Structure 1
């Protein structure tokens, strides 16, 4: 997925295996007809009843009640850090895409087939050793004067290598019809500042492992005195971590909008030549947006005070980490040992073919997407999803009128924003042209470099152009969805429009609790604590009355407190302020999806199906999509970095919804029970 400024996604990225035995894994197209086609792919009505644990009362743990049997019986595959419904569909997308790429490979002259084949050829990559990367490493090691450091970082940025100053061209939040250069903090080799600064024993262990990892990479690069040099890199990054804003601070859209001239930035953050860096990345602008000015000032000061040898060493390590997959196996394995196993708890690297599919789908995204949707996304699925989207938007429109805390003038503007929405379903209506991206047979390293440079050039090429509203930030093969605030759009790739999220043959209540709530989630992101700051034009501006803001904050503060109390790991609680936007979207999304479902009945009383009432099936449909088991290291990482709550707590959002109570009759005093005045109601 590409960077999406002003965007919120459904999942920061099952076993449904037993429940999905009819799912197409053979590569058969959507035109395959059979008697079974009219039956739901999961269970008898779209929900996996066998995956429940009815020994758990819904009011004690609704997630376990709906999913406990599945969780107990489902191991996490050795090549995954977690496993759930998203994983099942992602695996299906990967397998389908593999079939398409293998066919392209057999043709011999297909760009996607050539890229896929070159990446697959591990023996050829190993035979070349470090030769492909040596010219770049030599350029790094030739740096003896810090005056050349900004230009070197700029070239690294063009190659997709993580550097201390992160850059991107995106919409201007306050002038959304124009593109602007955006700079933000970077420079950490571990996921978050807490990995460097916290005294938590597990994070101290991760720090120790990270220092050993740095030394290992330097050694594999042929560098001497690796232990001392690794310690110097860690010390440098620890200083950067101290300068960084927290993730809670960085999610505030008002605080991260700091437009300034390059000269103003130079005065604010002396010690680093930002003008030279901007020229090097191909954006010699005079004005830009800086997300975290004090963090960049702290980084610039550190760079000025740090020996050039340490700056070189950090860039050597970052370069080898980024290109490890197309370098000798020893480097690839070393990077995975830290990033995969230490940070996420994953025992085994993914099979080479899976990674080849991922690389090709990123490097030539639209070329792969075109053949994927032609084979696996029938028009009738798009049409059915479009109907669901329209129904959920209509439900949100009606709900705005019923709010007792929003001023009439603000309601009118909220209606206007809703009317301005662009839903995108399945795949883009235009494709990017890769004719100028050179893909060479047998050159996995070179292909990755050229693909990164092509993507960089595509991004900076937006400057000065009209807004390209047709672009997508995810491929159709992605099992996810997102909301883009500046574009006033909600986007649903083809791959998420499958069971358990959506099945045309499943019970409508399950569909509305699944994909309907996902649609409502993305829609309501535009009205969450940050998305609500953008008006009908996608402009960051104040369009609420002060009283509206105060009433909204009172409600969101209550949701923060609710999630702050959850403790997914012993001694490690959720950060309600970090996950607020996603929790608001879950709450509102499920609320409007339920309204949309009731409206779709046209006044008819829905039958009991499989022993469950319609409302029970609706909420079980919601819980089912969040089935997921985590490795402990992965869950710890997510609690520090992910704006999404873990799956169990996402399922628990139902405790705030009035219709859930008569549906499941939780006993007062049970773990999830909230008296009516305590339930958080926003939209």
Structure 2
């Protein structure tokens, strides 16, 4: 699951869009078993390796498709949602005649067509990039560079710094401008620092990739790959790591915009902002030393190198919208080399996903209308309240927290709000200009719209009804600034939520997901925000010390797990998700137990009692096969532990698991009571 960012993503991120809600028409009534026993591997032992026991059979039957880098419940449901359900919706729309300009139907149909119009894409070549390339070539100073970078950031081209907009962490009712580090092609500084053979291979291939892209573009610069790798390595050394970025206090540096200009005087921040139509007197800076050191680096770097870097960022950003040779080379590096994906999806499937990425909310409105029964909202709402009730009971029973802090934890828990399925209100995106033969311009138009929408929020009240995910997304999130949990319609389907399954399976699935998101409000980051979503300490010093001691133990526990030879899980990076998994499982188990009070004991199903089926439900939502490349990338960049360890990692800490499966002391899936960690 995802936790909403504490500081806004840069304005360079892709736009997701909204549309209008209509009444229900049709729902998906396919029946899926609560748990398929053919997924089991009877040769494995539940108490030694629960993932292998529950999912070993499934893994053997479900090798990773050549078009994927990992294959599991999330990816399979995402494929169904997008490549089947959205495809059907898009096909229906493309058959409509007389689509009104600016209507959602026109935008969806024409964008989809523009992505499939490969003949026009090939014919146009790099012509769509010409105006940007001319501006890059005309750069004669760092101030010129800032102007060009500012203009290109409006359409999603990264630079070494960038701006974003989100609620003020210390005044969550008002939006403010954020400034943060950016610009690493490999995504995280560890890729520029590690010396193991697999990471060295990535860097070697990156150099070849950049050289190839420049060659395809017939750019005259010599050795661009080495030039860019050398420059980005220097930038990486100045940046905070992904672990350090988790600290909302350290990365909150509010100042006058004029003071930001003083930190980076040569890479003119006013020019960078003016070119993005940003008008504000205040900014929250992520890392002051980075800016001061970056200014010195930029001054010491030849302007020719900075121009090569800027060209590369432009080319990389739009590679998927250019002729096939660029698109394929971009896929080869970022998907095959970095993640182990062997082949690209068919153009039609990619057209659907690209349309979804650009026009996700208009498609989401139609998706929810067709595939999310209204009655499921009520069911999920009841589940959420059940989890809230159990969480309150768990807080009362904590032995490491004082009564005064418990009272404030209850206040925050009571203030939790939630969104289910799809937005209650939808935005109007009719001003985005989409044409059936101009793929590049369509992407530009949508990006400019999204950028304008973001900067117009600066200084204005936060819209608490806004969604950060589309309805068809197979995920969920907790937003600390709104103190809310959000569950899109896309994840409220089997195996996560199955209206035909027994309660134990659903509690191990969707209820644990709900508990997971609730627990994010009390993980190492979320616990620093109060009931109103403000970065504000509500803990006593001793209670905070107790909490930090427990999380440190859990960090050390996961840091000892080797996912691949030489690659151990980063416990400090994944602590938020790991705490949320542990909390989600605990809450879901006791919510299920509470729901059964006063009722007859549920009969075993397929030989498993309700306690065992609860844990089967948890394990099946994380069944997954993953390429080694994707796993290495995940360990270095992702705050989520690998799927296998999301199953096996928390279970040894649960006495409920040990009892359900009659695991003897000393089993691999059992820890001594003294080593078990209970946080929430």
Band of TM-score, shorter chain: over 0.9
Indicate if the aligned counterparts of 1:216 and 1:226 stay in contact, CA closer than 8 A: no
- Residues 2 and 474 in structure 1, CA contact (< 8 A), matched pair in contact too: no
Shift of 1:351: 1.8
Secondary structure at 1:133 match in 2: helix
Q: Which residue does 2:191 correspond to in 1?
A: 195
Residue matched to 2:318: 323
- Say if 2:153 is the partner of 1:153: no
TM-score normalised by the chain length of structure 1: 0.93
Q: Tell me the distance in 2 between the aligned counterparts of 1:78 and 1:319.
A: 29
**Counterpart for residue 17 of structure 2:** none
What secondary structure, in the 3-state scheme, does the structure 2 residue paired with 1:568 have? strand
1:186 pairs with one of 173, 182, 185: 182
- Matched ranges for 1:110-189 at <5 A: 110-189=106-185
- For the pair 1:643 / 2:632, whether they are aligned, the reply is no
Q: Aligned partners of 2:623, 2:2: CA distance in 1, in Å?
A: 26
Pick aligned residue for 2:674 from 660, 674, 677 = 677
What does residue range 523-562 of structure 1 map to in structure 2 within 5 Å? 523-562=518-557
| 1:511–1:30 CA distance, 2 compared to 1 (3 A) | farther
Offset, 1:198: 1.3
The match for 1:256 is 251
Q: 2:342 aligns with which of 347, 354, 357?
A: 347
Match of 2:276 among 271, 277, 281: 281
Gaps of 5+ in 1: 10-27
What are the superposed Cα offsets for residues 579-620 of structure 1, whole Å, 9 maximum, x if unpaired? 000000000011011111111113322322221111100011
- Distance (Å, rounded) in 2 between the aligned partners of 1:55 and 1:391: 37
Please give the secondary structure, in 1, of the residue aligned with 2:636: helix
Cα contact 2:8–2:164 (8 A) shared by 1: no
> 1: CA distance between counterparts of 2:311 and 2:3?
24
1:244 and 2:247 correspond: no
**Superposition deviation, residue 270 in structure 1:** 4.1
Q: Classify 1:225/1:288 alpha carbon distance in 2 versus 1 (closer, same or farther; 3 Å).
A: closer
Residue 563 of structure 1: aligned partner: 558
* In structure 2, distance between residues paired with 1:270 and 1:570: 45
Q: 1:270 touches 1:301 (CA, 8 Å); kept in 2?
A: no
What is the rounded CA distance, in whole Å, between the counterparts of 2:268 and 2:170 in structure 1? 27
Counterpart among 396, 415, 423 of residue 418 in structure 2: 423
Counterparts of 1:30-41 in structure 2, within 5 Å, are 30-31=26-27, 41=32
> Could you tell me how far apart the structure 2 residues matched to 1:96 and 1:557 are?
44
Q: How does 1:425-574 map to 2 (within 5 A)?
A: 425-574=420-569
Give the number of equivalent residue pairs.
Answer: 656
Query: Which digits, 9 at most, give the CA deviation of each residue in 1:622-674, with x for residues without a partner?
Result: 01000111111110000001100001110011111111111112232222220
Tell me what 2:48 maps to: 60
CA contact (8 A) 1:233 1:314 kept: yes
For 1:50 and 1:144, how far apart are their aligned partners in 2? Answer: 66
Question: CA distance change for structure 1 residues 7 and 353 in 2, over 3 Å: closer, same or farther?
Answer: farther
Residue in 2 that maps onto 1:410: 405
The DSSP-based 3-state class of the residue aligned with 1:578 is helix
Kindly tell me: are residues 344 and 8 of structure 1, through their superposed partners in 2, closer, same or farther at Cα, counting changes over 3 Å?
farther
Segments of structure 2 that go 5 or more residues without pairing to the other structure are 10-23, 100-105
Query: d(CA) in 2 for partners of 1:576 and 1:541?
Result: 25
Match of 1:78 in 2: 66
CA distance in 2: counterparts of 1:218 and 1:288, whole angstroms: 36
Identify the residue that residue 659 of structure 2 maps to in structure 1: 662
2: CA distance, partners of 1:132 / 1:560? 48
Contact 2:206-2:333 within 8 A present in 1 as well: yes
506-515 or 607-616, which deviates more: 607-616
**Offset of 1:301 from its aligned partner?**
2.1
Q: Say which is worse superposed, 264-273 or 445-454, in terms of deviation.
A: 264-273
Whether 2:95 is the aligned partner of 1:106: answer yes
| Cα distance between partner residues in 1 of 2:678 and 2:111 | 50
SS in 1 for 2:203: helix
**Residues 447-486 of structure 1, C-alpha deviations (whole Å, 9 max, x = no match):** 0011111111111111132211111111011000000000
Q: Take 2:163 and 2:27, find their aligned partners in 1: how far apart are those partners?
A: 44
Alpha-carbon distance in 2 for matches of 1:284, 1:4: 25
Distance in 2, matches of 1:438 and 1:166, equals 26
Q: Contact between 2:28 and 2:371, CA under 8 Å: does it hold in 1?
A: no
Q: Which moved more, 1:314-323 or 1:474-483?
A: 314-323
Inter-partner Cα distance in structure 2 for 1:438 and 1:601: 55
What's the secondary structure of 1:69's corresponding residue? helix
Match of 1:235 in 2: 230
Matching of residues 86-105 of structure 1 within 5 Å: 86-94=74-82, 95-105=84-94
Q: Is the 8 A contact 2:3 2:520 kept in 1?
A: no
1:14 corresponds to which residue?
none
Does 2:593 match 1:622? no
Residues 140 and 3 (structure 1), Cα distance of their counterparts in 2 relative to 1, 3 Å cut: farther
